[in-house]
Every structure is written in C-alpha cells, then in structure tokens.
Amino acid sequence: MQVTSYTFTRELRLLTPAQFKSVFSNPIKASSAEITLLAIPNSEQHPRIGLTVAKRYVKRANQRNRIKRIIRDNFRLHQHELPPLDIVVLVRNGVLDMDNATLHKLVEKLWRKLSRRYNG
C-alpha cells in the first residue's frame, strides 16, 4: 500500500519568474473577492503552487507570512486532490480581516472550483 505523503517539497513550488510568467499567459481562473487563483496545466504528475501577497494589500511581513503559511498548508493537505496544474495565488484586499479558519475554508473552495474548471 502506498503511503500518501503530505510534505511540501521544492517540486511543489513555482520557483522562477519564468514559471510564474507562464501561468499569466492564458490561465484557468478561480476567484473570490479576496483571492484569485490562476492556473495552467503542467507536464508534471502533480500540482505546483506559487504565492504572491502584495505589500499593497498586506502591509506587515508577519501578516503576509501568516496568509502564505495558511494557503501553503492548505495546498499541502489537498495536493493529491488537485489536477497537475501550475497555480499562482494572488491575494487581494480583505484577506487581513479573515481569521485562519475562514481563510482555510475559502482556499479549499477555490481548489475545488479550479479542479472543476480544469476537468470541466
């Protein structure tokens, strides 16, 4: 029996500006008022994620880190349900007012929406 790994390794991240740029070209979108997910199919066997939390919307580093940590953690837990996509997460205004649980729920909803759009 294969054990499902829930780690978050380098392979699961978009690391270079080029990887980010390719996602912006013609993405599948899933968005809410606070967060937008842009995604394109990749050639890997798994999804990859990149995060952008702009200082413009989230002034303090510790707050940006909290948001990134929650999204990353949620991705880590749901990576096996996601199709092989390169996903860029854009955070907008309003995220700061959410508590961790609300943010988790929202991100989960967006993963599902994205999967549906990919498969649909």
The tokens describing 102, both together, are 């609300």
Question: Quick check: 5 pLDDT over 90?
Answer: no
| Residues 64, 96: Cα–Cα separation, whole Å | 9
> Helix (H, G, I), strand (E, B), or coil: what is residue 1?
coil
- The tens digit of pLDDT for each residue in 50-67 reads 999 999 999 999 999 999
pLDDT tens track for 31-47: 999 999 999 999 999 99
Nearest to 33 by CA among 117, 103, 86: 103
Half-sphere exposure of 20 (CA within 13 A, CB side): 9
Q: What is the pTM of this model?
A: 0.91
State the average pLDDT for the chain: 92
Q: Produce one character per residue of 41-52: b if its CB has 16 or more CB atoms within 10 Å, e if not.
A: ebeeeebbbbbe
Q: Are strands 35-41 and 48-53 parallel, antiparallel or unpaired?
A: unpaired
